[in-house]
Amino acid sequence: MVSAPPKTSVPPRSQVSDAHKWNKESVFASREAWAAELKAVNAALPELAPFQGTLSQSAARLADWFEKVEKIVRRASNLFFYAAMSQAVETTDQDAISMRGQAGALLSQLGAAASFSTPEMLSIGESVIKGWVKAEPRLAIYEHYFHDLFRQQQHVRSGEVEEVLALAAEPFGAVDNTEEMLTSADMKFAPVKTADGEEIPLAQSNISTFLDSADRDVRRQAWENYADGYFGLKNTLASNYLASVKRDVFYARARRYSSALEASLFQNNIQAEVFHNLIDTYKKNIPTWHKYWAVRRRALGVNVLNPYDIWAPLTSESPEVSYQQAVDWICDGMKPLGETYVSALRKGCLEDRWVDIYPNEGKTQGAFSFGTYDTYPFIMMSFDNNLGAMSTLAHELGHSMHSYFSRKTQPFVYGDYTLFVAEVASNFNQAMVRANLFKTNSDPNFQIAVIEEAMNNLHRYFFIMPTLARFELEVHTRVERGDGVTADDLISLMVDLFSEGYGSEMHIDRERVGITWAQFGHLYNNYYVYQYATGISAAHALAGRILEGTAGAAENYVKFLSTGSSLYPVDALKLAGVDMSTPEAVERTFAVLADYVDRLDKLTQ
């Protein structure tokens, strides 16, 4: 096995071994093959036009439409995925940037070409459609699809308006791409200087490595320099983010929702109580976080905690974790789900090259799982040989295995899943792996390291994300009222919310804490961030059922993974064993958090 690159190095993409890169050849043999397919799919778009105005002719005609549009959508999706993934792993790749633009334009044209279909199907009427579903075998699988279609009927506009909304997707999408280009390709950070005077470049792909450092000055420099990179562009970033908020409000109003929040929740049939239960339960349990900051401050031996101390190691003996070791530990933790699950995961990581593993110059920040119905469920990350990287890999593999089972089990129409359930599978994997590590290694330093990893994850999902959700709600509300919002307004709001969560234990650097909103591209997805917190809540509730030995819990969980979007998300989670319409799962996860804090307090005395 080829050893990993040094933790602080950021090599050019050309120096990364192909064995550590995603298996792009499994999607397209070459960029020339991609270009040929782009040309072919563009040429196929006119094949959709003859269906316009004819869907009401018969059940057979409607079934023919679904077959035709599915083939083209699948091909276009592969084109976009290949281009977007190529850009993500090297955001300075000009060819990839061009390819993504071309693929995005194709998807916009496809959306416009198919936009007539929804209004036409609605005009046929629900009772007629139900009869066709029973009469035409090819339509049988669309029963849930049609139920959801007519549920949303009040928010579907005329064919002409739907075409305009589809065409607007491409220019509106530039807002997201601008954020990625600005923060991953163009933004520069001051380097970090080590104790021996060496200057090491700071980049999106290695910021977490610096923040994990035992050297407090290294952490301080990294956190400050990273925040300063964003703060220096605060007005541009604010303008771009507010454009995305206005996009959310535009779409909500165009589809006659009362707010962007209602538009987001209604789309996935989520009750408003789910969002507000999370926010209310988080606010009620903020003292648990205050206790954690106090424990961390004492364990680090500092008079005042700073934000850059949040990730500081509390033991000098944190384990070095190779990629191979990480895969082994993840597989061990997931054994309760059965051999089918574990063998597919291992093969994907070690043979089929699902994972683009290590950092390189221009690689976009963070990690994600991405693919299509016809590709592997790929992962992009920057593995840096520690427990945090292992946990990130486990998290993304949760997404990938969710995709694997959904696409293996469901037809194309249900082969994906909603954002609401996406973060359940990812956090579930982390909870299961963590529990196994606690059980199999009793060394106090190892236990501390595992708790630290858990707290880092909970900090992101159960502290930052609810805080960003509160921020997002307030910003959208101000825009919907017609208030003017500036970069300084965003910074002030962010500081106030974080100050509430930090309490008296944390020193607040107002400008650098206040720019945190700009560091999360997740905010460009309308009301996405709260779903990280509901996801981790459901995940811990479901993992707890399996770890406690609840009969059928593991089998029901795999059934949940296999539902795709064939059920509404709250119903799919009920199948797995958790009801997100109540605050119970959120409360249960705060109990897990409190237990970690108590254990850490004892271990670090």
What the block records as the tokens of 314 is 């509390």
Judge whether 136 and 65 are in contact, CB under 8 Å.
Answer: no
Closest CA to 91 of 13, 30, 145: 13
Q: Which two tokens stand for residue 215?
A: 């050297």
- Provide the angle, in degrees to the nearest 10, between the axes of the packed helices 584-603 and 272-284: 30
Residues 6+ apart with CB under 8 A from 125: none
Distance CA 238, CA 25 (A): 39
Instruction: Look at residue 30 and give its three-state secondary structure.
Output: coil
Q: Which of 455, 462, 437, 450 is nearest to 538 (CA)?
A: 462
Return the amino acid letter for 520.
Answer: F
CB of 357 within 8 A of CB of 381? yes
How would you class 390 by CB atoms within 10 Å of its CB: exposed for 0-12, middle for 13-18, buried for 19 or more? buried
Q: Which candidate, 475, 417, 426, 10, places its Cα nearest to that of 203? A: 10
Residue 369 has φ and ψ, to the nearest 5°, of -110, 135
For the chain, count helices (H), then strands (E): 25, 5
DSSP 520: -
Helix (H) or strand (E) holding 368: strand 368-370
Active site residue 179: no
Q: How many CB atoms lie within 10 A of CB 591?
A: 14
Q: Which of 90, 417, 480 is nearest to 259 (CA)?
A: 480
Task: Find out whether 405 and 228 touch, Cβ atoms under 8 Å.
Answer: no
Half-sphere exposure for 448 (CA within 13 Å, toward CB): 21
User: Whole-angstrom Cα distance, residue 34 to residue 81?
Assistant: 11
Structure tokens at 319: 């384990």
Structure tokens at 245: 């908020």
Residue listed under structure tokens 């799962």: 585
Calculate the alpha carbon distances from 312 to 61, 132, 206, 241, 322 in Å. Answer: 62, 61, 15, 30, 20
Residue pair 56/124 in contact (Cβ under 8 Å)? The answer is yes
Q: How far is CA 234 from CA 183, 238, 242, 293, 539, in A?
A: 12, 6, 12, 28, 35
The residue type of 523 is L
Indicate the residue type of 296.
R
Exactly one of 396, 453, 472, 480 is catalytic; name it. 396
User: What are the catalytic residues?
Assistant: 396
